[in-house]
Structure 1
């Protein structure tokens, strides 16, 4: 592989590490509780983050297609660092709210642009068919980073304080800034250049129309991937609330989070091989049925067996992310790829912004168990509908 392309992959790995080296994850719910927040507040904050991402999701993806992936990733890296700076000095819902909005805007600039940069870099090096392997390995690297971060975050919290974990997180987030500046824009299909904001908006709407209604293979993959994204994103926060509601402290949550993230890392790193072993059909059926059904299992089972099934969920999540991204990438062109991936992110983040607070509200007014069963039932219905739609419009994805 040529040196410029290799450098891009190294820089994308560093950016992924800075995003996924999340020291805060084992203590985030505990930190919120320490500052007087309850379950509904936690889900509201994360919903606001998702809405912040969603508002600029498609415009930022379009900006990545027109202005360049590198520029948008640089902006996202700077805002991501600023968000954690604000978190480090805040102690109220309002302060956390401002931090989440800035983090959300920063996340929207990186979301889609990083995967598009990877795919175009490989395409420029005539290695487009290797995207699934590289996406899986980079995703795996991110999960390994999150595993290491879980240990480090637990140690920092134990020796110092929960707030010191957020200060350390700020330092890690800042590492993405120089890595983003070192990226080089790969040669790719010419982007649609516009002379006015109106033309730009028209083109964005055109890409949305094509992605969701005109191209059946792309639309079916996009909708199914988005529903799966809602389920996996929501579980990342639901699991934290579940642990705390069952009386777990950082000494228990940390090793659990380590195991779960190592599981995601392993199956992400071997996504292509996992799909080959299980076959395309069985791999997709597991995603369709098991991922949403795990919510119901958490709601009805005792803690120990529930955690075992949660482990299987994280294994399925590991290979689901790169497999579904690859399915989308194979059905769209490079000139609109970041926009298309941003449409996916927009859908699942809006979905999370609705489902997350719903879980928090039901948990606060009834019980977490009831909230999990209701959420799982809704997700299972949506997953079956979009999964069948994928089978109907793009049956080759189910053929071994």
Structure 2
């Protein structure tokens, strides 16, 4: 086994992949609208293809990670994600982009849960809440650089950042084969079971744990409503900026440059906010996390609704940044809470259940919100996306009554 330490490798993974992902993501929405020519319904159907892939594969790949190793799962995931990014940039047709979404969606399921479980096991001496927050800050730093490079490369060809993001993500997978350690992986005892029986036993263990802990059930329910809301927001925000509000002119590449500014602003604000939260609050305390998540979800609803109803570009930009800030802060806190008290042998499985719940929400609501966008306009679809998140507030309030304790009955 190599001599690299897990925590620096984790931060490197978060920062490097964020850079490569934002190379792709910064111009992907513009590419789909301007090069592929997609309408609101087809834009959301792309997300549906992605989330169906996640829904089908999320828990099985989490079980595989718990059974055979998180390192192996992460490497396979980056190989698939990179291939999906590159395919979209190489073939500008709806069918190709649809397939690309499904491919990188499957890749995402190999990483989701596995990476978080890996660092929880490999760095047990560290405060997990702070580890995840530092990982998010590395993500923000890499993402900011990715936004800048994406805009620069897009001046040569709009699909070039997509291709580079894909090839570099595949390169990351190859690099991790040599530098990613796994010293503390401890799968559940096989007790004479075959590999398939062991996989089934791990899955059943995760399900039993979630059913036995009301707070975990609440968190999975929250993920469903969050996914339903985020799908419409993620797929239609660019359409709202481009067609509903209009972007101020910044030269020949005004749309690409503006989306670079929009994403960069969100990342800088998120980085600063994460620093404040990490220093001022005890993010390892489930009760503190529960209350903070309630506030952040209320901010997400307010920000998304304000963005949908905004009558000017400046107000819409401020609302977009506000909603994005609340969302990016909520993600590591949610993971910290979900991780609380989990047994190492089923950690990735339970985290994957959270991702699968989110995917179910996105896949079920996505086509409906897309159809609303086609029939009643993007502004109405975004309004619906904001309202859908409201039940999460009631669920968080219920969890707070348990003081955020996942072991509460």
Residue aligning to 2:281: 275
For residue 131 of structure 1, what is the aligned residue in structure 2? 128
- Alpha-carbon displacement from aligned partner over 1:163-183 (angstroms, at most 9, x marks no partner): 112121123212321332121
* Residues 1:311 and 2:311 aligned together: no
Alignment partner of 1:291 is 2:305: no
User: What is aligned with 1:63?
Assistant: 64
Q: How does 1:1-400 map to 2 (within 5 A)?
A: 4=3, 7-21=5-19, 22-33=22-33, 34-123=35-124, 126-127=125-126, 130-158=127-155, 160-181=156-177, 182-193=179-190, 194-195=193-194, 197-198=196-197, 200-211=199-210, 213-225=211-223, 227-228=225-226, 231-232=229-230, 234-245=232-243, 246-248=245-247, 249-276=255-282, 280=289, 283-303=292-312, 304-380=314-390, 382-395=391-404
TM-score (structure 1 length as normaliser): 0.88
- Which string of whole-angstrom CA distances, capped at 9 and with x for unpartnered residues, describes residues 329-369 of structure 1? 11311111100110000011121122333222111111111
Partner Cα distance (2:24, 2:195) in 1:
42
Q: Is the 8 A contact 1:47 1:357 kept in 2?
A: yes
Corresponding residue pairs, total:
387
Offset of residue 260 of structure 1: 0.8
2:24 counterpart SS class: coil
Give me the whole-angstrom Cα distance separating, in 1, the residues matched to 2:328 and 2:352. Answer: 20
Q: TM-score of the superposition, structure 2-length normalised?
A: 0.87
- CA separation of 1:148 and 1:222: change in aligned 2, threshold 3 A: same
> Structure 1: how far apart are the matches of 2:198 and 2:183?
25
CA deviation profile, 1:165-210 (whole Å, cap 9, x unmatched): 2121123212321332121213254425341535533541341242
User: Root-mean-square deviation (CA), in Å?
Assistant: 2.5
CA distance in 1, matches of 2:302, 2:280: 21
Instruction: Identify if the C-alpha distance between structure 1 residues 282 and 346 changes in structure 2 by more than 3 Å, giving closer, same or farther.
Output: closer
- Secondary structure at the counterpart of residue 27 of structure 1: helix
